[in-house]
Structure formats: C-alpha cells, structure tokens
Structure 1
Amino acid sequence: MPSIDQTQHKDLLTIRDVAVSFKTVTGTVEAVKGASYSVAKGETLAVVGESGSGKSVTARAIMGMLAENATLAEGSHIEFDDRDLASMSELELQKIRGNRISMIFQEPLTSLNPVYRIGDQIIEMIRSHRKISKADAKTEAIRMLDEVKIPDPEIRFSQYPHQLSGGQRQRVMIAMALANEPDLLIADEPTTALDVTVQAEILKLMKELQQRHNMAIILITHDLNVVRQVSDRVCVMRAGKLVETGTTKEVFETPSHPYTRHLIASEPTGSPDELEEGLYDLLQADKVRVTFKSKHGSFFSRKTKELVAVNDISLKIKSGETLGIVGESGSGKSTLGMSILQLLKADAGAITFDGNRIDNLTKKELKPLRTDLQVVFQDPFSSLNPRMVVGEIVGEGLKVNGIGSSHKERQSMVAEALDAVQMPRSTMDRFPHEFSGGQRQRIAIARSIVLKPKFILLDEPTSALDLSIQAQIIELLKDLRDKLKLSYLFISHDLKVVKALCHNVMVMQHGNVVEAGKTLDVLHRPQTEYTQRLVSAAYL
C-alpha cells in the first residue's frame, strides 16, 4: 500500500471551510458544507462518497470552474502553493489551470470538443502553456497517446471523439491532463470508463508520473479497489460534509464512521438465479459484422484503413435473461450493442426480435418497436437534454408514444420510475447539470424503465455509480427483470457486477468473441489467456 511521510512533504494544496451552494427553481441546495483537507507534493489523496456527496463540486471549486448558479461561500479558503485561488481573477486562474493544476473529468465525451480532431485538442493544450512548435507538439501528442495505451496512436491522432470508444476517450482526457506535467492532478473518476486491465496500466502510469515529477494527486472515485492500491490518505464525504479522514490503512482496517463501514461492505456480491426452463429466444443476432473506414496521412498521400469493430458475431438472448459482454475498451462491445438495436447499421448479419427480422426495417417501421427496445448509455450527461427538467426527460417517451391518458397519469408514472431508482420526486423540476454523474445515470435508467420495455441494452450503466448505489441498482435491475420478464444485454468492464447480474457472458477482444458460456463457468474457470488476465485484474 502507498505510504508517504507527511512530515517530509509541504502541503501543496490546502482547503479550509469550503462551502458551495446552488440556486435552483425549488430553492437553494447546499452541495458542500465546510469541507477541509490538504494534499502534499508526491501524495495521493482519495476522496470517496456517494453520488451527490460533494466530491466533484469541491474539486470544481478548487479549479474555479463552478456552474453559473453556484456560489462559493465567503470564508472558503483554497490555498495552492501559498497562493489564494479563491481570490484570483479568471485570467490568473487560466495560467494555472491545465499547466500547474490539471483535471481529468468524469465524462470524457462532454469534455472533448466534438468538432476538433483528438490530436489537435492535445496540441492546443500543450501549446497554450509551453513555447513549442506545432510539429514538436504533434510528436509529443502522439507519444502521450501511446503512453496511455491508445492503439494505433498515429491513426487515432486524426480521429474525432465520436470515433473512439468511451474508454479510449477517457484515455485521451488523461493524456491531455498529463501533457504539461502538472504539480497537482485532480482525477475525477479517471478509470470509470476503463476495463480492468487498462485501469491497472493507467494507475501504474499515473503513479510513475507522480514519482517522476513529485506530483500531488487528488483521486475522486467510488472504486475502493483503486483507493486501496494507489492512495496514501482517504477522505470520506457524505451529504456535503467530511465524515472521516485518515491514512488508507486506518480507514480500511478500522473505519470509525458507520457510513464508511457501509461503503466498504457494499461491493457487489452474489450471482443470478438459474434461468427457468422453456424460455423463448427474444432476441437473436446472426453473424453480425461492422467495419469502419479510417483515413490518415498527409493531404497528398491519404491512406484508408478498415477497422473491423464486430467480426461475424452471433448470440441469443432469452426472455428474462441477462447476457453480459466484457472486454477491453475498443473491443467492439458497444458497437455490437448499437447494431443490435439498429442505432448503427451493420455491414452484414441478421437481427431477429420477438420472432421478426428487424435489420431490414426502415426508421419508420422501427418506431413502434422502440418502446420495447430501450437503451441506457454509458455517458448520462450527453444523453440527457440539458434544456429539459427531469420530469420532462423521464416522461418524454410516454408522451411521444401516447402512453398514459393524461398529464397527471404520466406524472404519476414518472414519479414511480424515480422512486424505483432511489431519486426524490422533488428532482422532477430540476435540470441535469444540477446533479452528480451517478444521479444523472439513475435518471437515465428511470427514463428507460418508465416505458416498461421487453429488452434493455445497458451500456456501462453502473460505471458512474458509487458502490452503495451500484448495489441498489443491481438489485433494482434484478427485480425488474424477474417481475416483468425483461431481457438485458449488459455491457460492462466491472466483472464483479457482471458476476452478480448476468446469467451468461461473452468475452470480446478486437471485435471477436474469444470465450462464452455461463457466467460462473467463464469467470471461475477461464479457458483463454486473455480472459484469465481480465479475471486476475478484477480481483475476483
């Protein structure tokens, strides 16, 4: 376990009595209530707690990046290298942000500019703080992409964010944050979208850079395995307050607060019940193939490379069954899921749902099926309309599909869906930006289940959730599945969640299925070296 002699390291950052409130249509929400902590050069401080506990809001207060409706209370002190960040002008903060203090955000798709190539965004970050030629900055950008394990970095350099998987986008964000070798790195769920093997590599990379440059790290995470591996000290937050702090060893071995003990005991456990006999095949995919063409090179020597994202994959999902798909970022998991739902057209293959072929239907012909075929995306912020309040977002599908005889009845159905995902009914009048990442994910799940579909594609639905809420969502999904005979295609990099929820599992690598079978058989007795590596990295 990491250790640092606090007496030998001067505090680089100290926050005292930081309080942040938000003005909303329903009143003032106190998000952070007097948080105080410090981090020294070369130290890793982990900040853990439930979604909405104030972890990310505190970090944004440090960066001077609070939302327009947020207020940093008088008396809040944020001192970085003996300078008061709270009193700095925006121009002064810009010289520090991205240079001396960098931040990796929780949702990479919304943090990357969709109209600029990946490489250009990294170059901009490098050149805004360093005197370096564009050619040298390009060389440095490609090196950083390679260092964070992006495959084919020269090709990816010229691609746009939407052409990368969620995990690959997260690695681009890490490359951008580390490009200027900051003194302090604030990492807000930096491994959320990463599979377990790449997570281990990224954590190792961050640790190496930390030791090389004596960099301080504030790690915001709900993954207690990560906290155990990399942190020196831990702060536990709940409802905007700091409830416990101490060395990692102290907090995990002798937690003093009941909430800390609750968090430690909330890691996913158990496995699904056996499927009933005689269930019919609800969804079937036969030899699905999806390819993408990527162009790279100079204007006069453009080259095209074909990337096979899904290579002739077949599967069956029965009524009431959950099929898990696991594999590294970029292995084709989400692409397969999108092609099954006809949100992405495959180059070849057939999709059958409820006995009817659907891959040859037009958009108009598919529309009546959309209530039965639902999806919960990996990135909840980009999938929620920022101009609509939660009640409108969750109820939009009901209105569009003519479900419910009146506005009052639809509001009642929305309220029930919010109850099911443990969100207060009062949130119906609030906007998505007023919630944490985990809370937004629960809203996305509520929007899906309110339509009572037959099949739901769940693309990393618990990746943004802390452990205690994650356990509740797993139980919720199990209950809904059993009561309504729902079928799930569950895409995840968290093998503990897959083990707890999925009847069967497929392991994907480079667009191919390398192993498949009953979940417990595959995870307890993996037959391929690749699956063995995944299981080992997940600490199952």
Structure 2
Amino acid sequence: MTDTLLDIKDVAVTFKTVTGTVKAVRGVSYDIKRGETLAVVGESGSGKSVTARAIMSMLADNARLDPASKITFDGQDLTALPEVEMQKIRGNKISMIFQEPLTSLNPIYKVGDQVAEIILTHRNVSKKEARKEVLQLFKEVQLPSPEMRLNQYPHEMSGGQRQRVMIAMALANKPDLLIADEPTTALDVTVQAEILSLLKQLQDTHGMAVILITHDLTVVEKTSDRVVVMRYGEIVERGNTAEVFANPQHPYTRHLLASEPKGRPEPLPESAGPLMQANDMRVVFEIKTGGMFTRKTHELVAVNDITAMIRKGETLGIVGESGSGKTTLGMAMIGLGAAHARGEVLFEGQRIDNLTRSQMRPLRTKIQVVYQDPFSSLNPRMIVRQILEEGLIVNGIGSSAKEREELVREALHEVQMDADAMTRFPHEFSGGQRQRIAIARALILKPEFILLDEPTSALDLSIQAQIIDLLRDLRVRHDLSYMFISHDLKVVKALCHNVIVMQNGRMVEAGPTLDVLENPQTEYTQRLVDAAFNVVAA
C-alpha cells in the first residue's frame, strides 16, 4: 500500500456539440494522498467538475475521454474497468457530492429511502439498521428535525437541506475518497463551518481523502492541504495551500485571490415609491408522518406574519440560515409555489395575491425570477436560443425570428456569454454558465421586478463580481427592483440597499444594509455576520 490513493495523468476530455468539438480538459495531472485534502479551484468552465466526473466514469454521452488518459485508484486502473466493476467502486470506495442537489435526488422517493438505498446496495445490513444509520447521518449533517426529514420528498426541503442530504448520502459508506463538488454552495455561512468541520472529523477518523472543488477561497484556505488552480481546462498553478495563498506565482491565481464583492449600491432618490409590498405574509405547510394506520399531520410555519416593501429601483436583501423561509417568502409574494400562503401583496398599487392564474399572466413579464438551481429550471431538451426565446414567443415580443434572435444575442452578451452558446444544450455548460443563462432568461423580457434566489451561489469569485456589477448596472439603467435572497452577506453588503434577517420563518431584524451588518442588534444576526466576515480556523 502506497501513500498515494489517486493518481491521474494526462486526463483530456472533449465534448461533441452541434458547432464542433469543445476541449473541456486538456492534459490534467494531479495526485492525492490518503487522508489528504486537495482543493481544485478555478472559474466556471475551467474543467474542475468535468475532471471529477472523469474520475468517477460519469461523463455525459457526448463526452470523450482521451485514450492516453490514465486514472489510477488504490493501484487499480479505473479507465480499464467495465461499468459493472465501476459500480462497485462508486458510492462505496469513491463518493461524490454534486453541485446541484435537486437534480441529483429522485423527486418521487423520500430522501430517507434514497440514502438508505446507498447503504443497502453496498453492505449486507437490514432495512431497519440502514434506516437507523440514515437517521444518525441526518443528525451529523445538522438537518433540523431529522426524524421528520426521513419521510420528506426533495421538493419539500430548502436548497441547503437538500445539499445536506446529498452529503449524508456521500458519506453513508465511509468512502476512501470523497469528491466534494461545491459542497457548501447552497449552505448558509453558519452551517458551512459545521459541515466542513464534520468532513474533517470523518476524514481524520477514517483516513478519508477529499478532493474539494470550490470557488470559495476562504474554504480552501481553511480546509485544504494542497491546491490546484485550473483555467481553460489546464492547471496553471499548484502547491501547498499556505504557500500559494502567501505567494501566488501565476497572474490568474493573483486575480482570483484579489476578487471579492466590492462597492455599494447607489442611494435611492427620496421620491422612490413602493413597487412591491407584502403585508402580514404567512405560509404554513402540512407535513404527514407515519404509516397507513399511524398517520399524523404536523404544521410547519415557513413564513410567520412578515411585512416587506421594495421601492422602485431598490434591492432588498433577504438573509438567514437554510430553511429560514427566505425563498418561501419570495415565492409567495410573486404568486408561485405557496398554495397555503395568506396575506396581502401589492404590485404597483394593485393587489395581486387574490388574482387567478390567467389574471396574473399579463404581470409575468414585469415580474421575473432567477432560481437557485439553474440546471433544474432550464429545459434539458432545448438549446439555449429556444430557452431564451420561449418567453418572447409566449408574450408576443419580437415581430420576427430574426428580431428575437437579436434579443437573445443581446441578453447573452449582457451576462458575458458568447453568441455561440445559443446552439448548445444546458448540460454542455458549467454550473456558473448555466446560472448566467438563467439570469439572461429573466432579463430578456425587460421586467420591472426580479426575484433573485441565490443567483451568485454557483459562481466563482471573479465571475460573481462581474454579475454583481451587471445587476447593479441593469438596475440603474432600467430602473429595476430586486428581491435578493442569499446566504452570502458579502454579496448582500455590496448590492442591497436594505436587508431583512429571517430565522425559523420570522423576521428578527430589518433595516439599511450597512446598519444591520455593521451594528447587528440581535445575537442571531451577530452570528451570521461573524461567520461571513470573520475568518475563523475550522
């Protein structure tokens, strides 16, 4: 047995597209030792996740791994293994936490059963023992009310809660190697530290190696032993984490380390009137537990009597831990996904909470949304042009196909994407690129109000700064208003005029962003601020 657990040499991956061949990974080589944490960082589209999928032998159908590529795990050549042998390794010896949990979890099965299936597939234990292990895993990853979560479906959980289920699933069989693809992207800042601490604890206990794919340089600095920096499918720098952070050699690495959300929103004119207003919003979900003869119904108050107002041209930030009700509040205000919502919602002085679906339709071009998980919100059977053009066709915008194509080009250009993206499918893009497509789809209808649900969570720092600048510029240029839901307080500070802090469905603090973040009045807000701005070693 050698110290090296995984050794990849000259890995190259290409994708066949309708416009030609895309070289996603170009001769990447690195290794990882037992018990070590290797961070792989770089911009969206740099090849980080594609390399990881090549290790797992989980590339897309239109992808091709170069025959010269060599991937050796624990002395075994993975590139020579048939699929039936790889299935014994995946989820058992090597596990992976995926970037987008909603698309990785089966929507028709309860999450407890899905995690139990991983255990039952690879180990000879009873269903009762497997369920007991799942409950313990849910406790370890800090899922609130873990017993109740066993019987929930993925759509009944917040984005952060789904991510924690994915982490529990990956850790179920105590793998030798864990590939964590943005494992804390969907998690709020306070839980990030707890999850990273948990991974470190399991790593120390079982000698597990971790490949950490991330754009969060704070996480890299706190948790990794070595770092690999990728750009355009190639490695541009590598070394011990402390040395790379203290003395980066490549200009791109220096650019990444210097990137962070900057600036402040321009002050609103005193004459700015209300655009969207919610009074006494309350959303209650019924959760059923037990079997056929022991069925019980519990009420979960997701939003508890919250009043909020967004003025014309304003960006209102909504922050709080995962499951605090941020997204539920936003969706209830725009009339999506909250059948049990109560309260009064006004848009441009018109009450809209009591409108039917057909009555709301004329307002849909004025009110747009960018979802947290772009892959699940983009139709996988449509190319990007069709995805962006669909809203134009439905709403009768553009007198011809040529005019609509020009509008699509303009929208892609605004989110820093080339026009050749129009002919590609969503799965051919990185997570960050898909998020930009989702933003372009909202912008193309020239709305007055956009609900932004974690729009920068999947983006690396340098692109995140560009998107913040873009959103700020569009807001001023088109007099847009945003409701910005996020767990990233640095982004909120740079973009939002006012902020609401939520905990367990309640508003615990609200006011001008700088006042709340620099002088928090509650212990909960202080904890969020400390986790976001004060770097504490894990």
Q: Same fold (TM over 0.5)?
A: yes
1:177 corresponds to 2:170: yes
1:91 is matched with which residue: 84, 88, 108? 84
Partner of 1:215: 208
The one-letter amino acid paired with 1:410 is R
2:241 is matched with which residue: 245, 248, 258? 248
Q: 1:54·1:239 contact (CA, 8 Å) conserved in 2?
A: yes
What root-mean-square deviation, in Å, do the aligned CA atoms of Structure 1 and Structure 2 show? Answer: 0.9
The one-letter amino acid paired with 1:199 is Q
Partner of 1:513: 507
Partner of 1:196: 189
The one-letter amino acid paired with 1:270 is G
Quote the offset at 1:299 in angstroms.
2.5
Cα distance in 1 for partners of 2:158, 2:39 equals 27
CA offsets, 1:43-84, max 9 Å, x none? 000000010000000000000000000000011010000000
Helix, strand or coil at the partner of 2:533: coil
Aligned positions of 1:85-124 closer than 5 A: 85-124=78-117
CA offsets, 1:230-275, max 9 Å, x none? 0000000000000000011111110000000111111112221221
The one-letter amino acid paired with 1:117 is K
Q: TM-score, normalised by structure 2?
A: 0.98
Helix, strand or coil at the partner of 1:264: helix
The one-letter amino acid paired with 2:182 is E
1:339 is matched with which residue: 332, 337, 348? 332
Q: 2:98·2:181 contact (CA, 8 Å) conserved in 1?
A: yes
The one-letter amino acid paired with 2:373 is D
Cα distance in 1 for partners of 2:288, 2:42 equals 43
Cα distance in 1 for partners of 2:437, 2:183 equals 22
Partner of 2:349: 355
Q: 2:332·2:341 contact (CA, 8 Å) conserved in 1?
A: no
Cα distance in 2 for partners of 1:115, 1:527 equals 43
Helix, strand or coil at the partner of 1:128: helix
Quote the offset at 1:298 in angstroms.
3.0
Partner of 1:61: 54
2:312 is matched with which residue: 319, 337, 340? 319
- Distance change (3 Å), C-alpha of 1:9 and 1:208: farther
Partner of 2:452: 458
Partner of 1:52: 45
Cα distance in 2 for partners of 1:348, 1:457 equals 19
The one-letter amino acid paired with 2:55 is I
1:394 is matched with which residue: 388, 396, 412? 388
Partner of 1:482: 476
1:447 corresponds to 2:444: no
Cα distance in 2 for partners of 1:271, 1:302 equals 51
Cα distance in 1 for partners of 2:81, 2:490 equals 44
1:472 is matched with which residue: 456, 459, 466? 466
Cα distance in 1 for partners of 2:159, 2:188 equals 10
2:276 is matched with which residue: 251, 269, 283? 283
Partner of 1:17: 10
Cα distance in 1 for partners of 2:168, 2:340 equals 32
Quote the offset at 1:301 in angstroms.
1.5
Partner of 1:5: none
Helix, strand or coil at the partner of 1:271: coil
Cα distance in 1 for partners of 2:252, 2:471 equals 24
Q: 1:288·1:346 contact (CA, 8 Å) conserved in 2?
A: no
Q: 2:318·2:485 contact (CA, 8 Å) conserved in 1?
A: yes
Quote the offset at 1:348 in angstroms.
1.6
1:43 corresponds to 2:36: yes
1:292 is matched with which residue: 285, 291, 310? 285
Q: 2:389·2:404 contact (CA, 8 Å) conserved in 1?
A: yes
Cα distance in 2 for partners of 1:493, 1:276 equals 27
Cα distance in 2 for partners of 1:422, 1:266 equals 17
1:430 corresponds to 2:420: no
Q: TM-score, normalised by structure 1?
A: 0.98
Cα distance in 2 for partners of 1:129, 1:387 equals 34
Partner of 1:148: 141
Cα distance in 2 for partners of 1:348, 1:166 equals 23
Percent identity between matched residues is 68
Q: 1:374·1:448 contact (CA, 8 Å) conserved in 2?
A: yes
CA offsets, 1:384-413, max 9 Å, x none? 000110011111111110011111111101
Partner of 2:225: 232
Helix, strand or coil at the partner of 2:306: strand
Cα distance in 2 for partners of 1:145, 1:440 equals 30
CA offsets, 1:81-120, max 9 Å, x none? 0000011100000000000100000000000000000110
Partner of 2:156: 163
Gaps in structure 2 of 5+ consecutive residues = none
CA offsets, 1:336-377, max 9 Å, x none? 011011002343200000110000000000000000000000
Cα distance in 2 for partners of 1:298, 1:365 equals 40
Helix, strand or coil at the partner of 2:239: strand
Cα distance in 1 for partners of 2:291, 2:272 equals 55
The one-letter amino acid paired with 1:494 is D
The one-letter amino acid paired with 1:40 is K
Aligned positions of 1:70-81 closer than 5 A: 70-81=63-74
Partner of 2:401: 407
Helix, strand or coil at the partner of 1:538: helix
Cα distance in 1 for partners of 2:133, 2:457 equals 31
Cα distance in 2 for partners of 1:103, 1:40 equals 17
CA offsets, 1:452-478, max 9 Å, x none? 100000000000001111000000000
